[in-house]
Amino acid sequence: MARIANTETGLYRIPLPVTLSDSTHGEIAAFELITCRVRDADGAEGVGYTYTVGRNGGATADILAREIAPLVEGREADDTEAIWHHVWWALHYGGRGGPTVLALSALDIALWDLKARRARLPLFRLLGGFDAGVPCYAGGIDLDLSVDALLAQTDGNLAKGFRAIKMKVGRPDLKSDVAKVSAMRQHLGDGFPLMVDANMKWTVEEAIRAARAFVPYDLTWLEEPIIPDDVAGHARIMQAGGVPIAAGENLRSLWEFKNYIASGAVSYPEPDVTNCGGVSAFMKIARLAEAFNLPVTSHGAHDITVHLLAACPNRSYLEAHGFGLDTYIEHPLVLQDGLALAPDRHGHGISFDWPGLAKLMA
């Protein structure tokens, strides 16, 4: 083992080629990338990252650089569990959730990347290995697109090799949502995996009404129908709506997922490795879901998460996120017959274009 010699934090504001929107976050013109590079005493390096949809990146980067770095430097780099708990409890009083957990996630990802690189293994094999080919869907951020534009975007994703599609719902009137879901179902055909995402837009009663209206269109799931704080509300929608529910991208700990799962409030637990506590927490959430015979899906950071789901026998779909880093990494995600392939490179296999990112430093 080798001790952590130093950490390095980066903060970059990356403009999107097209301004995106959903029902809650409004227009998204750029996303913030916060990176964490961990180097050990032997000179080996692991890289992690987290991201925001445009705000709070500065707070996350500041926590990584000012608070977390002094807590971890000098510790054994392979002791990922000990380091996770040390940081979690050291920052717990002022930072349970929010930017602190995003920062911890970036650190934890970097430590697991370093561990896998030192072991000369791809991350998914270090985590146990199940199947390197993971079913993958295209996550469209497309609320304001016309039907024609929505279907054109879908055709583009099909041409890239996707064999499952997610679209946004949560417009001011349910009739518009139903019309677009209907058009998408007709375009894709019966049996094609189709998910919808409301981004927390509705009340419980509105969500039940929407779910019932979507029943004829054979959805794989309805995602985030209401605010993440309402566990009982999700359980009511599960019981009354008639559509499976995916939730979890806004949950920040293993224990929050435990409350959802134990309450019968979710069909597809959906952790995001960049904000749930990193690889350490994501894998615990996936195992918890497995114990309840639930499939696990993911949100964001597909280049990392493909490794995690490739190590889970209960994996369902990997989300290929709209905030892809393809322009700034050497090896973008590879799709084959609807499957995302976990790479055989050591670690998570992401190599950033650091000079390119430096031009976007925030």
Rounded Cα–Cα distance for residues 137 and 33 (Å): 22
Name 258's Cβ contacts closer than 8 Å, sequence gap at least 6.
288
Contact indicator for 136, 302 with CB cutoff of 8 Å: yes
Contact indicator for 294, 267 with CB cutoff of 8 Å: yes
Contact indicator for 211, 237 with CB cutoff of 8 Å: yes
Tokens of 349: 């296999």
From the list 183, 246, 165, 250, the residue with the least C-alpha distance to 211 is 246
Rounded Cα–Cα distance for residues 300 and 317 (Å): 12
State the amino acid at position 195 in one-letter form: M
Contact indicator for 337, 108 with CB cutoff of 8 Å: no
From the list 297, 269, 202, 271, the residue with the least C-alpha distance to 241 is 202
- Dihedral sign computed on CA atoms, order 307, 71, 73, 1: negative
For residue 327, the 8-state DSSP code is G
Catalytic residue among 166, 180, 299, 321: 299
Q: Residue 168 catalytic?
A: yes
- Would you put residue 74 in left (φ > 0), alpha (ψ -120 to 50) or beta? left
Q: In what order do the strands lie in the sheet with 26-40?
A: 4-22, 26-40, 45-52
From the list 255, 195, 211, the residue with the least C-alpha distance to 231 is 255
- Phi and psi dihedrals of 355, rounded to 5? -60, -40
Pairing relationship of beta strands 221-223 and 245-247 according to DSSP bridges: parallel
Q: Residue 302 catalytic?
A: no
Pairing relationship of beta strands 339-341 and 133-139 according to DSSP bridges: antiparallel
Active-site positions read 168, 299
